[in-house]
Amino acid sequence: MELQFLTVEEFNDLLQQWSGETIKISKHELDDMDETLMTLEDITYEHNTRGRIDDYEPTHALHLNGTGTIETDTSEVQSLPSSVYEIPLEDSSLYEYDGHQFLLSTTRGVYKIEKG
């Protein structure tokens, strides 16, 4: 199946079906690459109504809630620092799905979410 573009609502509906599953999140953001394995417990969204201090603080964010580990580009494996993996969202974010994996693209980076 080829990648299909989704609305944020379609993306949310499909990703919610993965609750309870082990997922792998591959992030390529700026010059940073890492992979996270987590047991997905819940999916939430945050809207920052306070003013942004800089471009790093997103107006909207996807929160993947669960426990897991992260492997950095130096091949070091660590526990997630919190039970939330945050992906900054923008109005121009693109959501794609091919039946097996999601691609979420922002101006800052690309996130691939697949079952681990």
Q: What is the DSSP string of 25-43?
A: EEEEETTEEEEEEEEEEEE
Phi, psi of 82 (to 5 degrees): -145, 175
- Domain harbouring 12, CATH code: 2.70.180
pLDDT of residue 51: 52
The total of other beta-carbon atoms located within 10 Å of residue 73's CB is: 11
CA 3 to chain centre: 17
pLDDT below 50 — which residues of the chain?
52
DSSP state of 75: -
pLDDT of residue 36: 95
Phi, psi of 111 (to 5 degrees): -120, 130
Q: What is the pTM of this model?
A: 0.87
pLDDT of residue 67: 95
Burial readout 90-104 (b: 16 or more C-beta within 10 A, e: otherwise): eeebebbbeeeebbb
Mean confidence (pLDDT) of the chain: 89
Q: How many domains does the chain have?
A: 1
Q: Which domain holds residue 70?
A: 4-115
